[in-house]
Amino acid sequence: MSRKFTAEHEWIEPTDANTATVGITVHAQDALGDVVYVDLPEVGSHHDQGAVAGVVESVKAAADLYMPVSGTVIEVNEALRADPALANRDPLAEGWFFKVKLDDASQLDALMDATAYEALTAK
Amino acid sequence: MTAASDSAPAPATPSPVEPQRTPLHGLHQRLGGKIVPFAGWALPVSYPQGQVAEHRHARTAAALFDVSHMGQVRLDGPGFKAIATALEALLPADVLGLAVGKQRYSQFTTAEAGVVDDLMIARPPEGALGGVLGSVFLVVNASNADTDLALLRAGLPAGITATRLHDRALLALQGPEAVAALARVAPGAADTLNALRFMEGAGVELAGAACWVVRSGYTGEDGVEISVPADQAVALAEALLADAAVQPAGLGARDTLRLEAGLCLHGHELDVSITPIEAGLAWSIPKVRRAGGARAGGYPGAAVVEAQLREGPARRRVGLLAQERVPVRDGAALHDAAGRPVGRVCSGTLSPGVAQPIAMAYVEAACAAEGSTLFAQVRGRGVPVTVSALPFVPHRYRRA
């Protein structure tokens, strides 16, 4: 299954049947400007879909990170903590934020695919 | 992901009307500027090179800012002396003592000594630019320009007029290479430009346009602010951008630069509830306007200012350096080690120059000593911050 997107400008990509990686989109990092700080969730913490799981800060603003699906955080990107600008340079790969164990993989089905997300950001 | 707060630039004044465009609007679009509403104007917050790169360029070379949203106001009347005397009834500066070609910084005050706006006051040479700048020329903040004009019209006697110049743009060229770059663009004006010291101005021809150039700015760097006819602003900006040292910079970099330089932004460090003394601007109130001076007081709120000069204000503007990487932003409450609220942050960012979070805040005078540790409330936890001297980055004005 391919990468999915949310209206909050996050992406989530399944890594196997019940885990996925979460990050922010190219559009999100562009809107934020230079990212200087990330507040990542605790490994082992559980969050419901839509809950605030972290914060990303640029020189000009702070933005909340929402859980695209319900689940438990199993890993966070320590490289991003050390070098927050990764979120600008490579938001869809090296600049990932955290990995989750999914409560319910079917929640992914309701999210946008790349085409639908592009249509949203083109508005 | 949604913006939870936006501390730079300051939030735009909500306005049902379409934001106004500066004469450089098309140029900003061609340069790939990210246009945002600010104080009723559409202005670039950054360009493709990004806010941090733009900030660094202003510290190392020359950055070009469009500040045409600022209000340019000419004062006219029966001679400089009459106008200066009238203006001194509205603010605590020494306007009468302003030499030809000089500029000063001051604040319009309320009866309680709150700051209505901060502004620049210049005395252009007689007949400079054919007299378009008036006998006294003011530059005021965009968001307060209407308030300032109303204040001037109500407070100036009959026969002295205040007129906003809508047909002029304002450019700021800032950085260690700013004046050299400007001299390359206008070789004929090089001697005049090189002779200018901080807060001195001259009428010069730049790229064929009759400009008023003052050696001043809002970054802490050497540089100039250029008032140029609106219809010639694009040509001048393009000529400057063609110089290898010059890059465009947006409002985002302007804000982080002024924060590092410890300079006040009205709406953050200054407003009608804050006095110039609390804001650390006593340096802008000269002896002649203080108790015992030849023209002491006589402006709104003078008694409050005098009392605070005598006794010290109850709260002060201070710098803060965060002891962690997390940015501490506008609005964050400050507590002491005992958990007692002692103040509030008015601006904050992660400084591109200092590479750590910096902020300015108002704190109780007892907590304002350099080196004091306070705790800024960020998302429910106390981030330790150290009270620090301002500016964070030394000013490099050309004073001598």
Tens of pLDDT, residues A31-64: 999 999 999 999 999 999 999 999 999 988 889 9
All residue ranges of chain B with pLDDT < 70 are: 1-16
Residues of A in contact with B37 (CB under 8 A): none
Q: Which residues of B touch A (CB under 8 A)?
A: 1-9, 34, 45-46, 50-52, 55, 252, 255-256, 325-327, 329, 349-350, 352, 379
Q: Which tokens hold the place of A118? A: 């592009």
> What is the structure's pLDDT at B17?
76
Please give the interface size between A and B, counted as residue pairs whose CB atoms are below 8 Å apart.
71
CA angle, corner B125, sides to B170 and B192, nearest 5? 70
Q: What is the pLDDT of residue B49?
A: 94
Q: Do B5 and A61 touch (CB under 8 A)?
A: yes
CA distance A55 to chain B (A): 8
Contacting residues of A for B252, CB less than 8 Å apart: 33, 59-60
Separation in Å, CA B101 to CA A108, B31, B240: 67, 34, 24
A67-101 pLDDT, tens digit per residue, is: 999 999 999 999 999 999 999 999 999 999 999 99
Helix H or strand E encompassing B104: strand B103-109
Closest Cα partner for B63 from B81, B50, B80? B50
Q: How far is B264 from chain A (nearest CA, A)?
A: 17
Contact A39 B326 (CB under 8 A): yes
User: Predicted confidence band at A1 (pLDDT cuts at 50, 70, 90)?
Assistant: low
Nearest residue, CB atoms, B46 vs list A33, A39, A63: A33
What's the pLDDT score for residue B5? 41
Interface contact A36-B256, CB threshold 8 A: no
Smallest CA–CA distance, residue B38 to chain A, in Å, is 14
pLDDT in tens, A10-25: 999 999 999 999 999 9
Annotated binding site of B: 225
Residue stretches of the annotated binding site of B for substrate: 225
Structure tokens at B333: 């409450």
Q: Min CA distance, A17 vs chain B (Å)?
A: 25
What's the rounded Cα separation, in Å, for the pair B275 and B115? 6
A57 contacts in chain B (CB < 8 Å): 326-327, 350
Query: How far does B46 lie from chain A, in Å, by closest CA?
Result: 8
CB contact under 8 Å between A63 and B4, yes or no, is: yes
**Alpha carbon distances (Å) from B312 to B229, B280, B309:** 44, 11, 6
Question: What token pair was written down for A21?
Answer: 């990686």
Inter-chain touch B51–A65, beta carbons under 8 Å:
no
Residue of A nearest to B53 (CA): A34
For B36, the closest chain A residue by CA position comes to A31
Q: Quick one: closest CA in B to A22, which residue?
A: B1
Supply the pLDDT for residue B7. 40
Interface contact B1-A24, CB threshold 8 A: yes
If we measure between CA atoms, which residue out of B10, B2, B4 comes closest to residue B251? B10
CB spacing of B1 vs A8 below 8 angstroms? yes
Structure tokens at B190: 């090089």
State how far the alpha carbon of A37 is from the alpha carbons of A6, A98, B322, in Å: 22, 15, 13
Mutate to test the interface with B, among A22, A42, A60 (most CBs of B within 10 A): A60
Closest partner CB to A61 (pick from B6, B55, B352): B6
Across the interface, do B8 and A60 touch by the CB < 8 Å criterion? yes
- The confidence score (pLDDT) of residue B12 equals 47
Please give, rounded to a whole number of angstroms, the shortest distance from the CA of A14 to a CA of chain B.
Answer: 19
pLDDT at B11: 43
The residue in chain A having the minimum alpha-carbon distance to the alpha carbon of residue B35 is A31
Q: Which of the 8 DSSP states describes residue A16?
A: S
Q: What is the DSSP string of A18-79?
A: SEEEEEE-HHHHHHH-SEEEEEPPPTT-EE-TT-EEEEEEESSEEEEEE-SSSEEEEEE-HH
Task: State the smallest CA–CA distance between residue A22 and chain B in angstroms.
Answer: 12
Interface of A with B (CB under 8 A): 8-10, 24, 28, 32-34, 36-37, 39, 55-66, 88
In chain A, residues with a C-beta closer than 8 Å to the C-beta of B4 are 55, 61-64
Which residues of chain A neighbour B352 with C-beta distances below 8 Å? 59
Q: Please judge whether A60 and B5 are an interchain contact, meaning their C-beta atoms are less than 8 angstroms apart.
A: no
